[in-house]
Structure 1
């Protein structure tokens, strides 16, 4: 598979890095020779210096032989023009564009059918707001993913000291728990992602990823000593695109919402466009302002400014002053491993959201959705098994999956199966597969060759 990526920023860099590790033929185009040098210093990819909207540059990048082009620069206009030019030079190439501007939102479907023809439009701001909504509903969760139209939840949660599960071997979970035991798909310990077996023990401090049906979420969280409490009062720090979009969603849910924004002209605009949200002009990291706004009464504080350091400081300050929980926007992937160390658990990232959206479209086979976990250490995919596949009609324990991969869920019509070794995949089942980064290539090969999807 040959993939041309327009843009060597954070999204382009990390998508290129991941695809290169999977031995795909990757070419990255960017106007900045420095950005491309940073990329080639880290991974084995080809680079072309120039504008991705230039026909000659796209030709130099080999657009005519590419299966996929990803236009992920920070400029919506460049991404649109790149798709227009690519559609002229290589109509068969699948084109994905990152478009963040609200003005384009109502035209996403038109772009798929009109010039420039874009197969998929990705708006990371929309995906971030959806992620925030999912985290709001699952207290203490580090990651929350939806599969099977939301009927299956993939949840990452820390095991607290004093939990009855501390020190328990996975094979013995059934003896410890009277209720249905969760399917634990992965454990992160000392920053290492582990696909556990029955011999592994759980430890306090582990980040545990488990799969469950939505209807069982409350009872499964109780196993980890987490209680679901409704969010009624929210404070948003930062009134940019994402902050505004989140405030609108909270208004639709009739939640009490306050929004702090520093820029006076932006405050005026927000006050005009929002109906019930209280817009405050000020600095979200100002302790006196947070005290004045009764921060201990807030069920949730979401920090969404364009400055990561401000977001981190405001979240830590809000927690110190008594806010029930916080969600923090972070864009630099290098910050992710540090967050839990300093006490920040719930993190969202527009760039990671963009990568998750892109993944499902570049995987071979009919991958319905894909979610990165632990930054980029692993991936969860939802795919479809056809009658021609040799993964069907035999127990999972007799199927040779790549090391570091496992089937975490089976959806058969309206029935959801949390599998064990004796479970059997039948034709037309939708399956959820968890894989570490090193196992993704093998899983993708299996999906493309053994599971020939429509």
Structure 2
């Protein structure tokens, strides 16, 4: 697709990076010459210096031939106006970054006029991701497929688990309703077969319906219950959205925020939360507010360094699930070495969500990728294909397909019926198929077999 991205900040750069990996033809626009130059030099994209909300600049960026414009500047008004001008310049589809909840609530009134295909809020997206992690407090990562019907959940196997020392073929999978898809052991990654033996400390990814996964984890002694008492460090936008979601789910929420004006706003906007004015870096304050006894704590302050430091402190005093918001991806090697449990990158999440949406827009042909998740430090990809027609992989027993190495068909969704396939199962037209692979570059379902 030909795509124009207006805004070369952290969000725009993340989106450009994600879409560039998938081979789209990208132009980026920003009034900041340095930002345009930096992005154009680091990625294979065309850089245009100028105001992306003006007709002439959009035409220079190729709006007449573009399939999509993504407006990702720091200002909602500019993003919405850019979408309106893009439609006037001939762009069929537009996506806008919209952070103000007042605008978000009214977008349905003007969506058609703007040609707006999607509006995305990075802070809301991050809050949704954190909420899912707190729903399964023992989970390291959760990825959803088939519109949330199936989840891929990563957990650490404790030394006392009943599956330690057991081959996968001997693990009770609740009559085929659960499958262990990947195993991380140190720096090694495995897509295991039935003979693979689980060790304590392994990080396993399990595919199942959420309610089935909960039963399985309980049976194998993995504590994964919902976080009921949650403390949010920092009262910014992510905390605002997250607190509202958690309170609706029945959790007790406490927000610690330094700014008194922000505290007053939060007290009025979220009456169900306890708001504490104070410094989140004050260890005595944290202890007095019960961090030792909380089920979940999210470090959501404005500065990455503060979130990282306070998480390191909390690791030594609480058993709560710890979630750390980090915008700068260059910190990732440090966090990996320090065994941080859960890291959230709001800007990167935005790029990933938009990329998934664009894949769905491109759904033509026999089968296409509807969702793609890069897992385990990009060592593994989980792809969700929609089967639109007959092909050489349909109506053939899976055991008869000459599948590529390090690849598994882990799930088939057939009209809402979830199948964790065995060798005798077949793929049919209209199925949604989830494939887990260490092979890169799969673009259609037929790519899973050797040529």
Matched, 1:290 2:286: yes
Deviation at 1:39, TM superposition (A): 2.6
CA distance in 1, matches of 2:18, 2:193: 26
Matched, 1:139 2:141: no
Cα contact 1:161–1:204 (8 A) shared by 2: yes
Calculate the TM-score normalised by the size of structure 2.
0.87
Corresponding residue for residue 413 of structure 2: 411
1:78-227 equivalences in 2 (<5 Å) = 78-92=78-92, 94-114=93-113, 116-161=114-159, 172-177=167-172, 182-188=178-184, 195-196=191-192, 205-222=201-218, 225-227=221-223
Corresponding residue for residue 397 of structure 2: 395
Deviation at 1:191, TM superposition (A): 5.2
Q: How many residues align?
A: 441
Secondary structure of 1:141 counterpart = coil
Q: 1:432 aligns with which of 431, 434, 437?
A: 434
Between stretches 267-276 and 372-381, larger displacement belongs to 372-381
Corresponding residue for residue 385 of structure 1: 387
Change (3 A) 1:341 1:65: same
> 1:80-128, CA deviations, whole angstroms, 9 ceiling, x for partnerless residues?
1221111011143x211111111212123234212x2211111222222
Between stretches 268-277 and 223-232, larger displacement belongs to 223-232
Secondary structure of 2:140 counterpart = strand
CA distance in 1, matches of 2:10, 2:355: 15
Matched, 1:73 2:82: no
Mark the runs of 5 or more structure 2 residues left unpaired by the alignment.
Answer: none
Deviation at 1:21, TM superposition (A): 3.3
Secondary structure of 2:396 counterpart = coil
Secondary structure of 1:289 counterpart = helix
CA distance in 2, matches of 1:370, 1:175: 30
Cα contact 2:31–2:51 (8 A) shared by 1: yes
Change (3 A) 1:353 1:208: same
Deviation at 1:27, TM superposition (A): 1.8
CA distance in 2, matches of 1:200, 1:245: 42
Cα contact 2:79–2:96 (8 A) shared by 1: yes
CA distance in 1, matches of 2:27, 2:446: 24
Cα contact 1:234–1:301 (8 A) shared by 2: yes
Secondary structure of 1:73 counterpart = coil
Corresponding residue for residue 236 of structure 2: 240
Corresponding residue for residue 9 of structure 1: 9
Change (3 A) 1:210 1:229: closer
1:39-78 equivalences in 2 (<5 Å) = 39-78=39-78
CA distance in 1, matches of 2:59, 2:402: 41
CA distance in 1, matches of 2:10, 2:102: 24
RMSD after superposition: 2.9
Mark the runs of 5 or more structure 1 residues left unpaired by the alignment.
Answer: none
CA distance in 2, matches of 1:7, 1:402: 40
Deviation at 1:278, TM superposition (A): 1.4
1:302-341 equivalences in 2 (<5 Å) = 302-341=298-337
Cα contact 1:319–1:325 (8 A) shared by 2: no
Cα contact 2:125–2:346 (8 A) shared by 1: yes
CA distance in 2, matches of 1:298, 1:388: 52
